[in-house]
Chains A and B, each alone.
Chain A
Amino acid sequence: MDFAETDEHVMLRGAVRAIAASYGHRYYADQTRRGEKAEALWAAIAEPGFLGVHLPEAYGGGGGGVTELAIVCEEVAAQGCPLLLILVSAAICAEVVARFGTPDQRQRWLPGLAAGEKMVFAITEPDAGSNTHRLATNARLDGDVYRLHGTKTFISGVDEAAAVLVVARTGLDDAGRAQLSLLVVDTDAPGLEKTPIPIEIASPEKQYLLHFDDVEVPADRLIGDEGEGLRQVFFGLNPERIMGACISAGIGRYALAKASAYATDRVVWDVPIGAHQGVAHPLAMCKVELELARLMIAKAAWLHDHDGDPSAAGEAANMAKYAAGEAGLHCLDTAIQTHGGNGLASEYGLADLWGLARLLRIAPVSREMILNFVAQQSLGLPRSY
């Protein structure tokens, strides 16, 4: 067993850190406040190939795995620039296209994705959140096109992407349950209406409500097999969960670094406040929780990359997502507390990350659904739903 990062991983981490640090949280917060995107940072990360590290070399990727993408995702967030679309575009969409796309489809989308083009992902619906069997958006084959109808909600970054991977029902199985399929839809397709959802998260990426009104999707945009969408999506959900965990862990590292620096510098009575155990111990506890979560992230990514038992990777990815979601928010909250009133001042760059850190306990999968999964899959407890 070897817990040491390889020289390549250390170098990758260092390079990503240097790029992201040259932008830093101030850039991220300023772009957000101005209603602009983090395009320049995204491009700077994409340029050396860091957003395609996990994709096959034949399609312009780096030939690595989710382990490498996790390093990229965490390191950017740890510099105060959590990029949600790494999770959506690089983790889910690119992984699904790479795994289930035909050679033509891979050639069509992967080189662009490896170079930093974005594809976003639409699964959640107003009446179907965690229960994917209730997805109502449907696609009906009509000659050589699918006709798409329905509504999707909380879809990140639609305004930044040329295409969206949509999960839609294409039929029913014998038990009357929805059979799901995956379609790549152009974001400027006629009949697709995009409405921003006002949301209390200070990030450059925006959330959208999508309404598909008889949107024509060429049949060659079906990824993988018709009716196999759910199984295929589950393959992409492990990387998604791992990246969600990485964003949380990155925010946690960022917050603890700021809190440690502040508590070492700030003197209220005779010694720096970090010498007081009332300040130091909560930060130390956060550090323990954070490092435990990061270990599980590394394990989950390793299991996913080593293509062994998919349920083992799923279990680890869920646990990593849970642990990092809790730890990231705990680190941020404790860092804010350490800063006293300054913790809420924009200048200190902490409180504006709260919305995203808080979201990551809910999405991409809620902590309650993870606990259900662990209770049933890991402990063998009976299910209630």
Chain B
Amino acid sequence: MNIAVCVKQIPDPAVPGELDPESHTLHRVGKLILDESDSFGVEMALQLADKAGGGDVTLISMAPNNEVSGLRTALAMGAAKAVLVSDPALAGSDALSTAKVLAQAITRAGDVDLVLTATESTDGYTGTVPNQIAQLLGWPSLTFAKHVEVEDGKLTIRRQTEAGYDVVESSLPAVVSVTAGVVEPRYPSFKGIMAAKNKPVDQCTVADLGLSSDDVGWSGARQEITNVAAAPAREAGEKVEDDGSAHERIVAFLEALKVI
């Protein structure tokens, strides 16, 4: 079974991010790393391919400046190869343009039975790209999977809900977004790290994918960030004087948070 995993290479979240004052978009210069939320999809893909008795895990990524650092991390975990779309024309792409590019890159990767993605990226948070990719490919979209199984060509996931989970079945090919915790990502082994350097990364441009520069980037974007405001400062908590009924207030508070 051949599996494509969409992985995003993002600025290190441990370093405070910066926004471009003109475009209000995230500064994505310098070294990028593998979005941790994508490491779950990579691990899931490796386990599914292994269980299916073979098949390649191919990484699909779009990043500025031919960035491969994050891809190398996922290749070191065990992915076989990568398709990287990098093109100055992609700067300013919105979620739909990104999905178009990724869908074309998946097609370019060839014979793919299953696409895995995270539910959303750690630096963008739109959470719309997985569904858009599925729509563009014309494949079923299964979301928020906390468990994925493929048996006799049939895909079954457990879709996380507030109360528990739904069981969702589908034929293949399909697109599945997986939650953090679907599986525990492995640490790359030393052999994996050394092998990653020599694994093929198919670097391509917008034109290579048969797309027009007008459909992507600033010119193709259907959204515009008009303003950015700082998040409101955290408000002070509520103080409860215990007159003998404080426990009821605490229980009500926890119930409102749905933790009990």
**Cα of A50 to Cα of B190 in the assembled complex, Å:** 6
B73 at the interface (CB under 8 A from A): yes
Q: What is the interface of chain B mostly: helix, strand, loop, or mixed?
A: helix
**Cα of A49 to Cα of B189 in the assembled complex, Å:** 6
Beyond A62-B194, A63-B194, A64-B194, whether A11 also contacts B187 by CB under 8 A is: no
Contact B188 A8 (CB under 8 A): no
**Cα of A11 to Cα of B188 in the assembled complex, Å:** 8
Q: Which of A41-99 contact B (CB under 8 A)?
A: 48-50, 52-53, 62-64, 68
Residues of A within 8 A of B186 (CB): 48
Contact B187 A12 (CB under 8 A): no
Interface string of B162-199 (1 = CB under 8 A from A): 00000000000000000000000011111111101100
Contact A48 B188 (CB under 8 A): yes
CB distance from B117 to the nearest CB of A (A): 23
CB distance from A207 to the nearest CB of B (A): 30
A7, A50, A53, A63 pick with most chain B CB within 10 angstroms: A7
A202 at the interface (CB under 8 A from B): no
Contact A11 B196 (CB under 8 A): yes
By beta carbon, the residue of chain B nearest A54 is B190
A19 at the interface (CB under 8 A from B): yes
Contact B191 A49 (CB under 8 A): yes
Interface string of A28-43 (1 = CB under 8 A from B): 0000000000000000
Contact A8 B187 (CB under 8 A): no
Residues of A within 8 A of B196 (CB): 8, 11
- Residue of B69, B190, B197 near A12 (CB, 8 A) is B190
CB distance from B103 to the nearest CB of A (A): 29
Please name 14 further chain A to chain B contacts, defined as beta carbons within 8 Å, in addition to the given A8-B196, A50-B190, sorted by A numbering: A7-B69, A8-B197, A11-B73, A12-B190, A14-B73, A15-B187, A15-B188, A48-B186, A48-B187, A48-B190, A49-B191, A62-B190, A62-B191, A64-B190
By beta carbon, the residue of chain B nearest A22 is B187
Contact B197 A49 (CB under 8 A): no
A18 at the interface (CB under 8 A from B): yes
For A, the interface residue count at a CB cutoff of 8 angstroms equals 17
Contact A68 B187 (CB under 8 A): no
Beyond A11-B72, A11-B196, whether A19 also contacts B191 by CB under 8 A is: no
**Cα of A14 to Cα of B214 in the assembled complex, Å:** 39
**Cα of A142 to Cα of B80 in the assembled complex, Å:** 56
B76 at the interface (CB under 8 A from A): yes
- Residue of A12, A18, A19, A52 near B193 (CB, 8 A) is A12
Residues of A within 8 A of B73 (CB): 11, 14
CB distance from A69 to the nearest CB of B (A): 10
Can you list 30 A-B pairs, Cβ within 8 angstroms, ordered by A? A7-B69, A7-B72, A8-B193, A8-B194, A8-B196, A8-B197, A11-B72, A11-B76, A11-B188, A11-B196, A12-B190, A12-B193, A14-B73, A15-B76, A15-B187, A15-B188, A15-B193, A18-B187, A19-B187, A48-B186, A48-B190, A49-B190, A49-B191, A50-B190, A52-B190, A62-B190, A62-B191, A62-B194, A64-B194, A68-B190
By beta carbon, the residue of chain B nearest A8 is B193
Residues of B within 8 A of A48 (CB): 186-190, 192
Interface string of A2-30 (1 = CB under 8 A from B): 00000110011011001100000000000
CB distance from B7 to the nearest CB of A (A): 15
**Cα of A279 to Cα of B187 in the assembled complex, Å:** 38
Interface string of B59-82 (1 = CB under 8 A from A): 000000000010011001000000
CB distance from A171 to the nearest CB of B (A): 41
**Cα of A54 to Cα of B4 in the assembled complex, Å:** 34
**Cα of A8 to Cα of B198 in the assembled complex, Å:** 11
**Cα of A18 to Cα of B187 in the assembled complex, Å:** 8
Interface string of B217-259 (1 = CB under 8 A from A): 0000000000000000000000000000000000000000000
By beta carbon, the residue of chain B nearest A48 is B189
CB distance from B34 to the nearest CB of A (A): 10
Residues of A within 8 A of B193 (CB): 8, 11-12, 15
CB distance from B177 to the nearest CB of A (A): 24
Residues of A within 8 A of B188 (CB): 11, 15, 48
Residues of B within 8 A of A18 (CB): 187
Residues of B within 8 A of A53 (CB): 190
Residues of B within 8 A of A62 (CB): 190-191, 194
By beta carbon, the residue of chain B nearest A57 is B191
CB distance from A44 to the nearest CB of B (A): 8
Residues of A within 8 A of B187 (CB): 15, 18-19, 48
